[in-house]
Structure 1
Amino acid sequence: MNKLFIIIGIVFILFGLIGSLIGKLPGDIVFKKGNTTFYFPIVTSIIVSIVLSLLFYLFGRFK
Structure 2
Amino acid sequence: MARRKKSKAKKRTNIAKPQPIIIIKEQPKSSRYWQQVLMVLIVPLFNWMKEIIQTYWN
Give TM class, smaller chain.
0.3 to 0.5
Larger Rg: 2
- Write 1 or 2 for the structure with the bigger share of helix: 2
Name the TM-score, length of structure 2 as normaliser: 0.44
Higher strand share: 1
